[in-house]
Amino acid sequence: MNPAQAPSRWYVAESSAGDAARSVRLGCITAPTRRLALRWLRRQARRFADALDPDPYASWVPGRALHPVTGGPGLVGDARPPMAGARHPMAGARPDAPAELRAWADSFREHDYALLRLADGLPYEFVARDALAWYGLVVRPLGR
C-alpha cells in the first residue's frame, strides 16, 4: 500500500424517531464517503417533513383531502390550553419539526459544519422536536 494514500473510511447514517416512551430506527445506510452519507440524511429529512406536513397542493394528495391552516397559539381544533409552566426555547411558538427538518435539509452552512466534524473523525447529530415526538439524524465515521 502506498503510504501517501490514506485508508478509506466508511460512514454510517441513521434516521430515527421517538417519543418519551420509545424510539424507532427508521433507516440506516453505510456509505463510502461522508458526502454520500449526508446526502442520504438530507433526503430522509425531506421525506419525514413531507410525511408529517404534506403540501396540500402536491400532486399525490387527493383533491380536498388536506387544506392549509393558519398559524396561532394552537392547532385548529386544539381546545387544550398550554401546559402551565411549559416553555419551549422558541419563546411562545409551537415546535415545528417539519419546518426544522426542511430548514436543516436546505442549510449549506450546517452541512459544511457536519462535513468538517466528520473529516475530524467526530459524529454529527441533528434532532428536530415537536410537541409529542422527536426525529433524529445521525452520521458517524466507522472505526479505523
User: Could you read off the pLDDT of 51-62 as tens digits, one per residue?
Assistant: 888 876 677 777
Q: Binning pLDDT at 50, 70 and 90, where does residue 71 land?
A: low
The pLDDT value given to residue 96? 86
Average pLDDT, the chain: 79
The pLDDT value given to residue 82? 42
User: Which grid cell sits at 18?
Assistant: 421517538
The span from the CA of 131 to the CA of 9, in Å, is 38
Whole-model pTM: value is 0.71
The pLDDT value given to residue 36? 95
Rounded-to-5 percentages of helix, strand, coil across the chain = 30, 20, 50
pLDDT, tens digit (0-9, with 9 covering 90-100), for 31-43: 999 999 999 999 9
Please, what sign has the CA dihedral across residues 97, 98, 99, 101? positive
Does residue 56 or residue 16 have the better pLDDT? 16
**Does pLDDT of 21 surpass 50?**
yes
The pLDDT value given to residue 101? 94
The pLDDT value given to residue 79? 38
